[in-house]
Amino acid sequence: MTYTYTVAQLAQLVGGDVHGDGSVTITGIADLREASSSDASWLTSAKFRKHLTTSSAGVVLLPASMDASVPCAIVCQSIHPSVAKLLAAFAPRLVGNVAGVHPSAVIHSTATLGDGVVVGPHVTIDASATIGDRTELQAGVNVGENVAIGSDCCLQQNVVVRHGCRLGDRVTILPNSVIGGDGFGFFYDGRAHQRIPHVGGVIIEDDVEIGACSCIDRAKFGHTTIGAGTKIDNLVQLAHNVRVGRNCVIVAQTGIAGSVRIGDGCVFAGRSGASDNITIGDGAQIAATSVPWADVAPGAKMAGTPAQDSTQEHRMLIHMRRLPALAAKLKKLIARVDKVEASAHNQQ
């Protein structure tokens, strides 16, 4: 499906002002370096400004703070929301599922479904589960016993929510994620590793999004909890009894060990993690591939493994890169010292 807008229409959609010809026709979106005269593009940072001079884009969305001369622009007071609206304008209009239960779904007689619920093919809903109004369960979803799912949620293909877990309203979970799998806990009895039962649950609060193939383990006791508004990327592992605060961002391949406490507004960059039983203060930022092994203060920016203050880590990296040159200088100095000492010995 193709979409056609004039620049003036796009400006109205994204909330910006036209600088140039508002009648130009736009039929797509593309990167500045690849855009044609019928494409819209955008610039969010001055470091990419060099691409403006060679771009063929029909119109460019620009932040109001940036002084850039292009033939046709839409100047936006808040560039990131405007770009999101631009992308939405060209997003495919999927047919979507209509309310009702697919004939292949298996629903226990004691389960409760709210108004306007969508139950797709091969969904299973176990005993005493509750599904809120307008929630969508796509193909292959499994909802365990005594699970409670709020209103306006979307569980995409093959999501598993195991027994006793609770989801708030407007929770989105992408395909193949597992909520409430048993935590990783064993003891060695001298002959074999024996599993430790995990009898707790998982609580996911309102407006949480969880990416594809992520796992949030049930608690050993009590609950593993995800605070309202938190966004979790693909391939993330949260172990038993982890508590994540509100409005956190956890990026792909992050692994959080058991019983970690994460405050509000924290950011874990890609492939980062946290050692077990530590506390991450509100607003802390953990750099990519970094792993703190001890408590992190509120607002701290950490890098490295074990993670330390990011400024100190960057200084260490700079010094490490200088080591080959320093080693060469040290070798020359040692040779000179040896020569001086040999000369002094000979004079004796």
**HEC assignment per residue over 161-186:** ECCCCEECCCCEECCCCEEEECCCCE
- DSSP assigned state of 99: S
Report the distance separating Cα 157 and Cα 111, nearest Å: 20
Pull the structure tokens for residue 340: 């001086």
Q: Please count the CA atoms within 13 angstroms of the CA of 38 that sit on its side-chain side.
A: 7
In the prediction, which pLDDT does 13 show?
96
What is the chain's length? 348
- Listed range (167-171, 173-177, 252-256, 311-315) with the worst mean pLDDT: 311-315
Burial label for 162, CB within 10 Å (0-12, 13-18, 19+), is: buried
In the prediction, which pLDDT does 317 show?
77
Comparing CA positions, the residue from 6, 30, 33, 34 lying closest to residue 20 is: 6
Share of the chain above pLDDT 70, in %: 98
- Tell me: pLDDT of 345 over 80: no
In the prediction, which pLDDT does 326 show?
83
- Tell me: pLDDT of 1 over 70: no
255 strand-pairing partners: 237, 273
pLDDT digits 0-9 by tens, 87-125: 999 998 777 778 899 999 999 999 999 999 999 999 999
- Region label for 265, one of left (φ > 0), alpha (ψ between -120 and 50) or beta (otherwise): left
Q: What is the mean pLDDT of residues 242-270?
A: 98
80 tagged catalytic:
no
Report the distance separating Cα 24 and Cα 283, nearest Å: 44
Q: SS3 breakdown of the chain: % helix, strand, coil, rounded to 5?
A: 20, 30, 55
In the prediction, which pLDDT does 180 show?
98
In the prediction, which pLDDT does 15 show?
95
- Tell me: pLDDT of 28 over 80: yes
- Residue predicted with more confidence, 144 or 45: 144
- Tell me: pLDDT of 21 over 80: yes
* Local confidence band at 324 (pLDDT 50, 70, 90 cut-offs): confident
Alpha-carbon distances of 217 from 143, 220, 283, rounded to whole Å: 15, 9, 24
- Tell me: pLDDT of 336 over 80: yes
- Tell me: pLDDT of 313 over 80: no
- Tell me: pLDDT of 319 over 80: no
* Local confidence band at 16 (pLDDT 50, 70, 90 cut-offs): very high
- Tell me: pLDDT of 328 over 90: no
- Domains defined for the chain, CATH in brackets: 5-89 (3.40.1390.10), 104-310 (2.160.10.10)
Report the distance separating Cα 61 and Cα 158, nearest Å: 38
How many CB atoms lie under 10 A from the CB of residue 244?
Answer: 27
Report the distance separating Cα 191 and Cα 185, nearest Å: 16
Of residues 19, 198, 223, 240, which has the active-site annotation? 240
- Tell me: pLDDT of 47 over 90: no
In the prediction, which pLDDT does 249 show?
98
Comparing CA positions, the residue from 96, 108, 109, 138 lying closest to residue 121 is: 138
- Tell me: pLDDT of 213 over 70: yes
Residues 65 and 29 sit within 8 Å (Cβ to Cβ): no
Residues 133 and 110 sit within 8 Å (Cβ to Cβ): no
